[in-house]
């Protein structure tokens, strides 16, 4: 059950998404251009303020409220839903481990949408095995010097500030690397920092996925977030709150595809009657709606548990992301099936939704990694 406030927020975001974002979704996908107009829309309606504390210019929305908003936007456009999810992701290390001064410096402008955030952990050779990352930070006078590169960073090219995880011990690669990782915030325009290249992608095509390079980037001590060596812990605690956001994106995509399939099955006639009345098509619709609702309920429960400080937060986050991602993929594939040949062409949105769904099984840890986390938690009783 959602609270009255959460229902009101959901309905308001739903209306906004239907009126203003849905008509843009196909074009955002076709042009693969970052939708700054959607950023402005979300900022103007204070939706980007949801993840941030009231004390720092945000709305102080709880995790469930934030996920409901991400879900409603992703229902019509997964790229647009990701803007809100990544804004949270980019701000989480500061909210988790930043000083009051750092929170004052960055959070208010993230809450208003004046600057976007990004989160840079992955590298070309450090994906699932993120602890093996090679980006180095060495002490340099009263600050740090960063060298290395990051791959697949959502909004890395449009962000005003990026959370960058780097090794702060040159021997780390041969020892317990995750104990020597530190988090730094790098601001756009810092000399030596560049968003060198964007990826061409299957889905979420309007979301720029950037390769970032750091060539002797000077970062002041005041941009180090958390303790030296605390980076791995900060990244893992970040995922406990950001993976539900990806689950919400997945639930939204699944709901969007289900809605389109139901509408189509009512209208499309074959053998003299609506295809929805054909039992095999009706059964597909029933399965799609049931799976989507199950994913939603698991997500909502995970949000409540995590918000309440559950000691099993990592497991809840992985479980909801795992189930919702697989649901989105299965449901959107079925939606294409319900529409037949029309599902396969760009005239209808379900082929886009199917392409968008795939990423929810990959980023913020692949489904295999989520299963490893859940299994480990079950076996160790965490």
Ligand X SMILES: Cc1cc2nc3c(=O)[nH]c(=O)nc-3n(C[C@H](O)[C@H](O)[C@H](O)COP(=O)(O)OP(=O)(O)OC[C@H]3O[C@@H](n4cnc5c(N)ncnc54)[C@H](O)[C@@H]3O)c2cc1C
What are 34's two structure tokens? Answer: 């970052």
Q: Give the total of residues touching ligand X (CB under 6 A).
A: 20
Pick the closest to residue 165 from 187, 143, 149 (CA basis): 149
Helices (H), the chain: 4-16, 22-31, 36-44, 63-74, 78-97, 100-111, 231-267, 279-307, 313-339, 350-359, 367-380
Q: Which of residues 132-191 bind ligand X (CB under 6 A)?
A: 152-154
| CB nearer ligand X, residue 6 or residue 149 | 149
272-281 LR contacts (CB < 8 Å, sep 24+) = 275/338, 281/338
Tell me phi and psi for residue 185, to 5 degrees: -100, 125
Strands 143-154 and 209-220, sheet pairing: antiparallel
| CB nearer ligand X, residue 152 or residue 316 | 152
Rounded CA-CA distance 166/193 in Å is 14
Tell the smallest beta-carbon distance from residue 363 to ligand X (Å).
4
| CB nearer ligand X, residue 195 or residue 369 | 369
Q: Which of residues 347-366 bind ligand X (CB under 6 A)?
A: 359, 362-366
Tell the smallest beta-carbon distance from residue 165 to ligand X (Å).
8
Q: What is the DSSP letter of 21?
A: I
| CB nearer ligand X, residue 124 or residue 283 | 124
Tell the smallest beta-carbon distance from residue 184 to ligand X (Å).
14
| CB nearer ligand X, residue 281 or residue 329 | 329
The Cα-based distances of 103 to 57, 198, 233, 306 in angstroms read 10, 29, 19, 22
Binding of ligand X by 368 (CB under 6 A): yes
Pick the closest to residue 297 from 251, 249, 229 (CA basis): 251
Site string for ligand X, 109-138 (x = CB under 6 A): ----------xxxx----xx----------
Token pair 């060298």 is at which residue?
A: 147
Binding of ligand X by 201 (CB under 6 A): yes
Tell the smallest beta-carbon distance from residue 244 to ligand X (Å).
16
Is-contact 13 68, C-beta < 8 A? yes
Strands 117-120 and 161-167, sheet pairing: parallel
Rounded CA-CA distance 156/147 in Å is 16
Q: What is the dihedral of CA 103, 106, 108, 109, to 10 degrees?
A: 180
| CB nearer ligand X, residue 203 or residue 276 | 203
What are 75's two structure tokens? Answer: 């229902």
Name the residue with the smallest CB distance to ligand X. 127
Tell the smallest beta-carbon distance from residue 121 to ligand X (Å).
4
Tell the smallest beta-carbon distance from residue 271 to ligand X (Å).
41
Rounded CA-CA distance 234/95 in Å is 10
Of 71, 72, 240, 364, catalytic? 364
Rounded CA-CA distance 232/241 in Å is 15
Tell the smallest beta-carbon distance from residue 116 to ligand X (Å).
12
| CB nearer ligand X, residue 223 or residue 238 | 238
| CB nearer ligand X, residue 14 or residue 355 | 355
Rounded CA-CA distance 42/12 in Å is 12
Tell the smallest beta-carbon distance from residue 129 to ligand X (Å).
6
Active site residue 364: yes
Which residues, listed in sequence order, are joined to residue 164 by a DSSP beta bridge?
120, 184
Binding site for ligand X (CB under 6 A): 119-122, 127-128, 152-154, 201, 209, 359, 362-366, 368-369, 372
Active-site residue numbers? 364
């Amino acid at each position: 059950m959602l609270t009255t406030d959460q229902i009101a927020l959901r309905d308001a975001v739903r209306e906004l998404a239907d009126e203003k974002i849905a008509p843009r979704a196909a074009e955002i996908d076709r042009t693969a251009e970052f939708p700054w107009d959607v950023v402005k829309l979300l900022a103007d309606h204070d939706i980007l303020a949801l993840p941030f504390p009231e004390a720092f210019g945000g709305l102080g929305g709880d995790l469930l409220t934030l996920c409901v908003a991400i879900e409603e936007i992703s229902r019509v456009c997964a790229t647009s839903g990701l803007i809100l999810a990544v804004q949270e992701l980019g701000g989480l290390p500061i909210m988790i481990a930043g000083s009051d001064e750092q929170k004052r410096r960055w959070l208010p402008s993230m809450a208003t949408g004046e600057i976007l955030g990004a989160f840079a952990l992955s590298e070309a050779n450090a994906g699932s095995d993120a602890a093996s990352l090679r980006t180095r930070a060495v002490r340099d006078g009263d600050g740090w010097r960063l060298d290395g590169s990051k791959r697949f960073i959502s909004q890395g090219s449009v962000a005003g500030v990026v959370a960058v995880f780097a090794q702060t011990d040159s021997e780390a690669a041969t020892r317990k690397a995750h104990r020597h990782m530190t988090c730094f915030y790098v601001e756009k325009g810092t000399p030596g920092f560049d968003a060198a290249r964007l990826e061409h992608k299957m889905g979420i095509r309007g979301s720029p996925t950037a390769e970032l390079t750091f060539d002797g980037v000077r970062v002041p001590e005041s941009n180090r977030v958390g303790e030296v060596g605390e980076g791995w812990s900060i990244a893992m605690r970040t995922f406990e709150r950001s993976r539900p956001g990806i689950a919400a994106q997945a639930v939204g995509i699944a709901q969007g595809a289900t809605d389109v399939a139901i509408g189509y099955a009512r209208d499309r006639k074959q053998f003299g009657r609506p295809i929805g009345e054909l039992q095999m098509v009706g059964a597909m619709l029933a399965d799609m709606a049931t799976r989507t609702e199950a994913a939603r309920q698991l997500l909502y429960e995970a949000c409540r548990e995590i918000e309440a400080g559950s000691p099993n937060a990592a497991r809840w986050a992985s479980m909801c992301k795992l189930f919702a991602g697989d649901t989105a993929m299965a449901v959107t594939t079925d939606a294409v099936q319900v529409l037949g040949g029309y599902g396969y062409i760009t005239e209808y949105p379900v082929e886009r939704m199917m392409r968008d769904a795939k990423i929810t099984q990959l980023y913020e840890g692949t489904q295999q990694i989520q299963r490893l986390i859940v299994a480990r938690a079950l076996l160790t009783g965490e």
